[in-house]
Amino acid sequence: MSINYVSIDAGNGFTNAATLKGKSVKTVGFPSIRAMSRADDFDIEGFGSVNYPIYNWQGLRYVVGDDASLISLDSVESHRGYNRYGNEMQRFFMAVAMYQLGLKSSDIDLTMFVPPSLLIEQKDTILSRFEDVNNQLAILPEGERKPIIYNLVNINIVPEGIGAATCFMLDKRGKPSQSASELSGNVLFVDIGMYTTDVVLLQNGAFNRESLSTATSEGFGIADRILSPLAEEVRKKAADFSAINLYDIDRALRNGLKTGEFTVSSGLSNIDIEERFNAYKGAFSNAVADLLDSQYSSLRNVQKVVLVGGGATFINDLLAETYPNRTATLENYSSMKDVSPLEANVIGGLRLSLMKQLQTE
Ligand SMILES: Nc1ncnc2c1ncn2[C@@H]1O[C@H](COP(=O)(O)OP(=O)(O)OP(=O)(O)O)[C@@H](O)[C@H]1O
Ligand SMILES: [Mg+2]
């Protein structure tokens, strides 16, 4: 059986995944949330029913991503924090991502991501969690006749941020890239996620290992700085909003980025959260600037700060006001234009595995 190379960043907020289909890269992404489905499979004559994918996993049925927060009558499950890597829920999101990428039962070379400061501490634990399930992920999406089995023949664990930096070092085929020269001097890769912010220092394109242990700020991300306080404010506005949670706010913000309308709706009530979103965004950008100032001496020896992760979309412009000429997103690099900041880690991870493949050929 041939091996499929898959790179998955099943983060605290979003699961992003990439694989190769022929010569082109295919990606998928969905919020890292799920809810149990209790619906039976039957039709009521004359009625249509809402259609959404259901995944059978370890004897239970789940709805995933935005479907979970929109359709579920039950509580939404997520796992934010340090013990999630390689655990049951993360393995589930990985299996769903592989299925959404269009992969059927096959051997998989998996590249996955952890916050940099966890790498040394948790690498063996994560690998042993996969060994406990014989390095196999078995999922039965509704509509399939038999379970789909992903055989993980190889698991590469890469620090978040490094994946993103790899996009500069290697080209689409995993070969050394021309854009590596754009990383001369000291460059900080700041990966701002849902729950963590990771800062990785590269010196002339080489990874500074000393920076690894202090690289991750836990509880310092979009959830704690923007979504939770916004949800709390909205809940207080009207009785209709009393059940609004951070996933509802997240959906509203993602919708706002697309449509320009930042509205939360519940029952008969609507509320525009754009102004308050901007306020929290500003405060978060200042907090990131403070973090960089204190950890990296006001960026005195840093030539460039490259922002990736979902937070990059939110605060890049604001941070650029604090550090003019020194802040960049992937869009600022010609070779990186087609890499979204949310997918930077997974694209880099895929390129890393291609490089290894080239070396063994
Ligand atoms: N274009 C976009 N599409 C989806 N989400 C976006 C977009 N722009 C910003 N976001 C925000 O980014 C969040 C996901 O960010 P990201 O994928 O970096 O988090 P994560 O990697 O899961 O978290 P962590 O790194 O803490 O584990 C979304 O929940 C949303 O709030
Ligand atoms: Mg992340």
12 close to ligand 1 (CB < 6 Angstrom): yes
Q: Residue 212: is its pLDDT beyond 80?
A: no
Average pLDDT score over residue span 12-28: 94
Q: Residue 337: is its pLDDT beyond 80?
A: no
CA of residue 216 to ligand 2 center, whole Å? 11
Q: What is the pLDDT of residue 214?
A: 74
310 close to ligand 1 (CB < 6 Angstrom): yes
174 close to ligand 1 (CB < 6 Angstrom): no
Q: How confident is the model at residue 1 (pLDDT cuts 50, 70, 90)?
A: low
Cα distance between residue 331 and residue 338, in whole Å: 8
193 close to ligand 1 (CB < 6 Angstrom): yes
Q: What is the pLDDT of residue 47?
A: 73
CB 150 within 8 A of CB 267: no
Residue nearest to atom 14 of ligand 1 (CA): 310
Cα distance between residue 129 and residue 92, in whole Å: 13
Q: List pLDDT tens digits, range 64-75.
A: 999 998 887 668
Q: Residue 48: is its pLDDT beyond 90?
A: no
- The residue among 210 and 299 whose pLDDT is bigger is 299
CA of residue 344 to ligand 2 center, whole Å? 10
Superfamily in which the 181-336 domain is placed by CATH = ATPase, nucleotide binding domain (3.30.420.40)
Q: List pLDDT tens digits, range 175-206.
A: 988 777 778 899 999 999 999 999 988 898 88
Mean pLDDT of the chain: 91
Q: What is the pLDDT of residue 274?
A: 98
Q: How confident is the model at residue 43 (pLDDT cuts 50, 70, 90)?
A: low
Q: What is the pLDDT of residue 327?
A: 86
CA of residue 160 to ligand 2 center, whole Å? 6
Q: What is the pLDDT of residue 61?
A: 93
Q: Residue 285: is its pLDDT beyond 90?
A: yes
Which of 222, 257, 331 most suits a substitution to test ligand 1, by most atoms within 8 Å of the C-beta?
Answer: 222
Per the listing, tokens 């525009």 go with 272
Instruction: Give the list of residues 6+ apart from residue 250 with CB closer than 8 angstroms, or none.
Output: 13, 31, 222, 227
Cα distance between residue 260 and residue 94, in whole Å: 31
Q: How confident is the model at residue 336 (pLDDT cuts 50, 70, 90)?
A: confident
Q: Is 197 strand, coil or helix?
A: strand
196 close to ligand 1 (CB < 6 Angstrom): yes
Percent of the chain with pLDDT over 70: 97
The ranges of the chain annotated as CATH 3.30.420.40 are 3-159, 181-336
277 close to ligand 1 (CB < 6 Angstrom): no
Domain 3-159 fold is Nucleotidyltransferase; domain 5 (3.30.420)
Q: How confident is the model at residue 41 (pLDDT cuts 50, 70, 90)?
A: low
Q: What is the pLDDT of residue 331?
A: 81
CB 89 within 8 A of CB 76: no
User: Between the ranges 163-167, 216-220, 261-265, where is the mean pLDDT highest?
Assistant: 261-265
Q: List pLDDT tens digits, range 313-322.
A: 999 999 999 9
230 close to ligand 1 (CB < 6 Angstrom): no
Q: Residue 114: is its pLDDT beyond 90?
A: yes
- From residue 7, how far is each of 184, 257, 333, 352 by CA, in Å? 27, 26, 22, 9
Q: What is the pLDDT of residue 23?
A: 85
